[in-house]
Amino acid sequence: MTAGSFTALGAVEKANVGFFIGDGKYITISIEGPLEIVCCVGNISLKGDAPFIHAHISLADNRGRTYGGHLMPGCTVGATCEVTLHAYDAINLVRKLDSKTGLYLLDT
């Protein structure tokens, strides 16, 4: 698969959420749960020869406060996480380094 998209819902015990601050850098905050995944959406592309996942997530705690941002490594699934994946076999999504932002952006 060279391209895809997905959605996810469920719960996490811990989440790491990132915020882009420029020059290809993110700050990451860790949020302790339990937390409900309100929405998680993303795409799958190629960065070099490897699959690359870009996802954003919105989470809610037991008081209804919400948190959101870029889904970062280190999240721990709670009771469940249900992912719906759509594969696009006829499309090639490729990322290339953008010198202005320092990010690997989709090359359209």
Residues 7, 58, 11: CA angle, nearest 5 degrees: 75
pLDDT at 77: 97
Q: Is the pLDDT of residue 17 over 80?
A: yes
Tokens of 61: 């705690």
Give the integer Cα–Cα distance in Å for 51 and 67. Answer: 27
Q: Where are the domains of the chain?
A: 4-106
Buried b / exposed e across 63-91, counting CB within 10 Å, b at 16+?
A: eeeeebbbbbeebeebeeeeeeeeeeeee
Average pLDDT over residues 66-85: 96
Give the integer Cα–Cα distance in Å for 10 and 3. Answer: 24
Q: Is the pLDDT of residue 41 over 80?
A: yes
pTM for this model (two decimals): 0.90
Average pLDDT, the chain: 95
Q: Is the pLDDT of residue 13 over 80?
A: yes
| Percent of the chain scoring above 70 in pLDDT | 100
Architecture of the domain whose range is 4-106: 2-Layer Sandwich (3.30)
CB 18 within 8 A of CB 69: yes
Q: Would you list the DSSP string of 35-64?
A: EEEEEEEEEEEEETTEEEEEEEEEEE-TTS
